[in-house]
Structure 1
Amino acid sequence: MHHTVFDTPVVNTLLRWGSIAFLKITGWKTEGALRPEASRCVLIAAPHTSNWDLPYTLMAGFVFGLHPYWMGKAQIFKPPFGPVMRWLGGIAVNRERSNNLVAASAEALQQADGPVQLIVPPEGTRSKVRTWKTGFYYIALTAQVPIQMAYMDYAQKRVGLGPLFYPSGDIERDMVQIKAFYAQFKGKNATQFDAAE
């Protein structure tokens, strides 16, 4: 995994305190904490319905002391923004050639030298979708790491780390449980997210 702002001395500390202050001033609450067994995990980012999700996610990452990496479409990594996006923890994904993404992501998690939380939005996009993509599930299953269920609830202005989920391999049963947890949360564009679908 490449070097990011989250492991950059001094800058990391300044941004952590800035994030704490911003969230508090704007009325956001942070809930939960990263458990030791989730130092390497797949972190679900849901609901994902707006471009605003990224800055709030990054601020939450500083507050919770995470070492997050997130996947984004390759277009946002083009010059001049590419180096900045990578420094913020971004990993470019070419959606036309992502057939080996699960294996590559799982291998990266297994071989990481230190803590890594790989953020994967199950919707795969901020637009309304009918079904969740299952890449996050198979990355965790293949890498044998837990799924950290994280949430951002714009209705109640809260962002948090919920329970850990260990995939059993029975994806149909497991997805019912995961979606049941997310049914309570509202994204910024609430009509674009429905965990029951």
Structure 2
Amino acid sequence: MISKFIYTKILGWKLVGEFPKDLKKYVVIGAPHTSWKDFPIAILGRNTWGVKINFIGKKALFKPPFGFIFRWLGGSPVDRTKSSNKVDAIVDVFNKNEEFRLALSPEGTRQKVDKWKTGFYYIAKGAGVPIIMFTLDFGRKQMAVSEPFYPTDDMEADFKVFHDFYKDVKGAKPELF
């Protein structure tokens, strides 16, 4: 496969762990998201793993001339200016599909943030699906995947688990994570 060749031989990255192939639905959170480089590295990693994972992105990315590429790669546009309940809309997508895996950045941006967004957490809880964590570790040139994590009723403790998973990970721009 060409993705694996580019990812491992040309770029020198490696994969640690496996996305669960027996689970048909889950939320994937990828961090740190600090650079435009994260997207192509994540897509190459996803293709190397051979698992179908969708993503959402800001609406502007899906306009011509390149919008068709993002759709072809499994993306769907989100209008962030509307006040509609995106969590409920995405939970409906999970409920209507037999197979759906959604990747999100918990930071919600490539800029430095003081705290993560919580939408991914409420999507997973609302859809009754686990959260899979994966790293974009430019320090070790690897993507690592966690075991499925089912959110509990203790959000603070759950977020500690998430933050602990990413504690020694270096983004493309470490100062932003």
Distance 2:169 2:148 in 1: 17
The runs of at least 4 aligned residues of structure 1 exceeding 4 Å deviation read none
Q: Give the C-alpha shift of residue 98 in structure 1.
A: 5.0
The secondary structure found in structure 2 opposite 1:79 is coil
The answer on whether the counterparts of 2:34 and 2:111 sit within 8 Å (CA) in structure 1 is yes
The answer on whether the counterparts of 2:24 and 2:98 sit within 8 Å (CA) in structure 1 is no
| Count of aligned pairs between the two proteins | 176
Structure-2 residue corresponding to 1:187: 171
Structure-2 residue corresponding to 1:50: 35
Q: Give the C-alpha shift of residue 150 in structure 1.
A: 1.0
Q: Unpaired runs of 5+ in structure 2?
A: none
TM-score (norm 2): 0.94
Is residue 145 of structure 1 aligned with residue 145 of structure 2?
no
For 2:68, give the aligned amino acid.
P
Q: Give the C-alpha shift of residue 18 in structure 1.
A: 0.9
C-alpha spacing 1:99/1:131, structure 2 compared with 1 (3 Å): farther
1:113 aligns with one of 85, 98, 117: 98
Distance 2:2 2:124 in 1: 32
Structure-1 residue corresponding to 2:148: 164
Q: Percent identity?
A: 39
For 1:79, give the aligned amino acid.
P
For 2:160, give the aligned amino acid.
V
Spell out, residue by residue over 1:69-92, the C-alpha distance to the aligned partner (whole angstroms, 9 max, x if none): 111111111112222211111111
Structure-2 residue corresponding to 1:136: 120
- Structure (1/2) with the larger helix percentage: 1
Structure-2 residue corresponding to 1:8: none
Q: Give the C-alpha shift of residue 67 in structure 1.
A: 1.0
Is residue 35 of structure 1 aligned with residue 20 of structure 2?
yes
Q: Give the C-alpha shift of residue 105 in structure 1.
A: 0.8
Is residue 69 of structure 1 aligned with residue 54 of structure 2?
yes
For 1:170, give the aligned amino acid.
D
Q: Give the C-alpha shift of residue 38 in structure 1.
A: 3.2
Q: Unpaired runs of 5+ in structure 1?
A: 1-16
Q: Give the C-alpha shift of residue 43 in structure 1.
A: 0.2
The answer on whether the counterparts of 1:66 and 1:117 sit within 8 Å (CA) in structure 2 is no
The answer on whether the counterparts of 1:153 and 1:159 sit within 8 Å (CA) in structure 2 is yes
The answer on whether the counterparts of 1:38 and 1:146 sit within 8 Å (CA) in structure 2 is no
